Structure 1
Amino acid sequence: MVKRILLTSMMLALAEAMAGLKSIPHLIYQARMKSPELFLTATELSKKAGYEMETHVVRTEDGYLLTLHHLPPRPSLVSKGPVFFMHGLAHQTDMWIIQGPNHSLPYLLVDRGYDVWIGNCRGNLYSKTYAAAKNENPLYWDFSWHEIGYYDLPAFIDYVLVRTRHDSLLYVGFSMGGTTACVLLSTRPEYNAKIRLMVGLAPAVYAEHTRSPIARELIVLRDANRDTLGMLRAANMLSSSEARTALAYFTCRDGSSTQRICEETFYGIGGYSSALNKTMLPVYLNLLADVSTKTVLHFSQIETTGKFEQWDFGPEMNMNIYNSSRPPKYDLTKMTVPTELYTSKGDALIPSEDVELLMGILPNVIGFRLVQARDFSHLDFLTHMNVKKLVYDDVIATLERY
């Protein structure tokens, strides 16, 4: 499994290494001709789907400039108020809408009169600008999901509430979108009053029982190379480019002899899915990009320790920063917002046992939904061909009550 994953990564990275060769422009041209949707931005995808998406820029307290996408409600409908979406690790707006009309949750909500806003965390495809330094500066990448929760989310939420003239909003987070919500609401508890309901789809808060091959290999890699990885924490682990997109197409498309490798890579992230649309593999894997090494290592840390805690700098540095040899745990009892949690037995990355653990700690869980479908994996919360019936219809019903 690991060898196949590494091979896929090497093939996708090959485009970057060959960027100066004449063959690369031709590769990109051919991919554009055969699969132009791969190169569309979120706003272009929305327009193609019949939805007008606005782009807003939000500045964080520590100087990052972030993109916030807005899908206004249908003019013919009475607005039901704002809903804010936060993506998972190495994702961006595109993953929320890639299933298209009648299937993607943001579109389903727009069609019901909701005012939809989709955040893009620092470092992702749409949020690579820093007011004080270019993102080529390694200091730009010295952040994990702690900073996303502590700085990015409040900037997004405050912006949405000012623009919509509302006192509170509904929050939907997938995977790391649940992680960052827990960071925000435990470290800045005043934001509990600004969120009427938090829906966590496979929230990545505890991962002690992870069965994901990729996650397990990261734990081994982190333990074996702790000093080296510590120096590399301020780095971009992945990178988007047209060349990488083209290579993703030729590597993972239908009929490719290497599509099976892409399929195994997809399964290696969050578990086997019996309803994977293999034709979409180039799209799904192409969108897995742009993430700080420190963010990935922070997840590896909580997988290893079984504790939802801040970044571990090591005993000596921890004493200087936290006045303790161990990093402090997030006090989740401060997260008083009504919360509904979704999980599945087939999720290898964030197993249902770990979501149950979170449920037992949070003080205001109003619902715990276990997806009953067989082989429903972590990424299926976004990509399953029947996710509307299995998950989203229930989410919508819950949002309607708030």
Structure 2
Amino acid sequence: MVERHGYNVKRHSTTTDDGYILTVFRVTSKSKEPTKFPVFVQHGIVTNSANWVDISNRSLAFRLADEGYDVWLGNIRGSTYSNKHKSLNVNMPEYWNFNLDTMAQKDIPSQLKLVANETGKAGEIIYIGHSMGTTLIFMYASEYPEETRELIQGLVALAPVVYLNGVPLIELVKPLASLIIKMLNIINVKGLLYHEVLVHRLFTNFCKNVAPIVCGQLINLIGGKSVQFSPEDLPLFTSYWPGGVSIYPLEQYLQIAQSKKFQKFDHGKRKNKKIYGQSEPPTYVLSNINVPARLLYGTQDGLFLPQV
């Protein structure tokens, strides 16, 4: 997609200390070299970095490259371009044994350090995250504020996700979603939607030939109506969406909604005591974040509710 629209793209990889091999794409303009600082862009849940290059010249990555920024597109473990591991594969339940805390502690710094090392501009990177990409940077930056400061100069949160209590869509699906996750755990199914060729064919066929209106309305329900996303964009969108996801980040989001706290994964009182040294999961202290942050959200976003 990148080269088709007339931009340069280069694939880089980094391996986390628990063996996950992550892919980060560098996107630059063919007409000029980057003149500004690096921008690292992190996608949301069940998607990947294609999210930032899929609507031609309206795409965020291309707009940033045209402005002279050095653009880097991250991919979280389990997603399409980061589904490799040193000793595991996606068909093994063990591969999917990670939650939001794990990705925040390992994937985010691993990718940011890659960008810092390749550009030589540690401390100058701007982090742009969307949805889950904002959750992860808030978790990382609140736990490791000094390290964060050494890597980035600031962050931009698109459709930020921290507290989920009271969000109508979450409240609606929470009982059924919790039951489904419990059942998947019982039958040892830890990863979802990672058979991507089959999944994308099904979604593309359904959305293009069977019920394009239904697919469009589903996107509007979740993300809010947008003039930036047209019906013509739908086939390309379903060619890469959805992507692989572990059940544990989904479960953790439900826990956050239920507890009304921005907390670490709740393993149950006994295991919490062993892991955290206390029966309840610790909460993330957002006031620890010591880099400038800008929050951008849509008032019609079905997964966002301003907290007062």
Q: Common fold, TM-score beyond 0.5?
A: yes
Deviation at 1:225, TM superposition (A): 5.7
Match of 1:380 in 2: none
Q: Pick which of 233-242 and 103-112 moved more.
A: 233-242
| Residues 272 and 67 of structure 1, relative CA distance in 2, 3 Å threshold | same
- Unaligned 5+ runs, structure 2: none
Match of 2:46 in 1: 90
- How far apart, CA to CA, are the structure 2 residues paired with 1:78 and 1:274? 30
| Residues 285 and 249 of structure 1, relative CA distance in 2, 3 Å threshold | closer
Question: Which of 196, 212, 217 is equivalent to 1:259?
Answer: 212
Question: Which of 135, 144, 157 is equivalent to 1:200?
Answer: 157
Q: 1:174-216 CA deviation, whole Å, 9 max, x = no partner?
A: 111110101111122221232111000011111223122xx33
- How far apart, CA to CA, are the structure 1 residues paired with 2:64 and 2:161? 24
Work out whether residues 193 and 337 of structure 1, in 8 Å CA contact, stay in contact via their aligned partners in 2. Answer: no
Question: Which of 187, 210, 230 is equivalent to 2:167?
Answer: 210
1:335 pairs with 2:292: no
- How far apart, CA to CA, are the structure 1 residues paired with 2:159 and 2:171? 18
Q: 1:13-52 CA deviation, whole Å, 9 max, x = no partner?
A: xxxxxxxxxxxxxxxxxxxxxxxxxxxxxxxx00100011
Partner of 1:344: helix, strand, or coil?
A: coil
Work out whether residues 141 and 234 of structure 1, in 8 Å CA contact, stay in contact via their aligned partners in 2. Answer: no
Work out whether residues 175 and 201 of structure 1, in 8 Å CA contact, stay in contact via their aligned partners in 2. Answer: yes
Work out whether residues 77 and 112 of structure 1, in 8 Å CA contact, stay in contact via their aligned partners in 2. Answer: no
Fraction of identical pairs, as percent: 29
Partner of 1:52: helix, strand, or coil?
A: strand
| Residues 296 and 155 of structure 1, relative CA distance in 2, 3 Å threshold | same
Q: How does 1:235-314 map to 2 (within 5 A)?
A: 235-253=190-208, 256-273=209-226, 276-286=229-239, 287-314=241-268
Deviation at 1:231, TM superposition (A): 4.1
The higher radius of gyration belongs to: 1
Match of 1:181 in 2: 137
- How far apart, CA to CA, are the structure 2 residues paired with 1:338 and 1:203? 15
Partner of 1:72: helix, strand, or coil?
A: strand
Match of 1:134 in 2: 89
- How far apart, CA to CA, are the structure 1 residues paired with 2:299 and 2:32? 40
1:46 pairs with 2:18: no
Q: RMSD in angstroms over aligned alpha carbons?
A: 2.1
Partner of 1:53: helix, strand, or coil?
A: strand
Work out whether residues 135 and 160 of structure 2, in 8 Å CA contact, stay in contact via their aligned partners in 1. Answer: yes
Letter of the 2:93 counterpart: P
Partner of 2:2: helix, strand, or coil?
A: helix
Deviation at 1:317, TM superposition (A): 1.3
1:153 pairs with 2:122: no
Q: Pick which of 170-179 and 67-76 moved more.
A: 67-76
Alignment length (residue pairs): 305
Work out whether residues 73 and 114 of structure 1, in 8 Å CA contact, stay in contact via their aligned partners in 2. Answer: no
Letter of the 1:87 counterpart: H
Letter of the 2:269 counterpart: P
TM, length-normalised to structure 1: 0.71
- How far apart, CA to CA, are the structure 1 residues paired with 2:34 and 2:182? 56
Match of 1:124 in 2: 79
| Residues 110 and 273 of structure 1, relative CA distance in 2, 3 Å threshold | closer
- How far apart, CA to CA, are the structure 2 residues paired with 1:290 and 1:226? 15
Match of 1:162 in 2: 117
- How far apart, CA to CA, are the structure 1 residues paired with 2:301 and 2:41? 21
Q: 1:298-333 CA deviation, whole Å, 9 max, x = no partner?
A: 111112221110001111211111121210001111
Question: Which of 63, 68, 87 is equivalent to 1:113?
Answer: 68
Deviation at 1:221, TM superposition (A): 2.1
| Residues 132 and 217 of structure 1, relative CA distance in 2, 3 Å threshold | farther
Partner of 1:180: helix, strand, or coil?
A: helix
Work out whether residues 139 and 234 of structure 1, in 8 Å CA contact, stay in contact via their aligned partners in 2. Answer: no
Match of 1:60 in 2: 16
Q: How does 1:310-389 map to 2 (within 5 A)?
A: 310-351=264-305, 353-354=306-307
Deviation at 1:61, TM superposition (A): 1.6
| Residues 56 and 275 of structure 1, relative CA distance in 2, 3 Å threshold | closer
- How far apart, CA to CA, are the structure 1 residues paired with 2:122 and 2:215? 44
Deviation at 1:118, TM superposition (A): 0.6
Work out whether residues 48 and 81 of structure 2, in 8 Å CA contact, stay in contact via their aligned partners in 1. Answer: yes
- How far apart, CA to CA, are the structure 2 residues paired with 1:138 and 1:173? 28
Work out whether residues 200 and 340 of structure 1, in 8 Å CA contact, stay in contact via their aligned partners in 2. Answer: yes
- How far apart, CA to CA, are the structure 2 residues paired with 1:144 and 1:199? 23
Deviation at 1:78, TM superposition (A): 5.3
| Residues 97 and 331 of structure 1, relative CA distance in 2, 3 Å threshold | same
Deviation at 1:100, TM superposition (A): 1.2
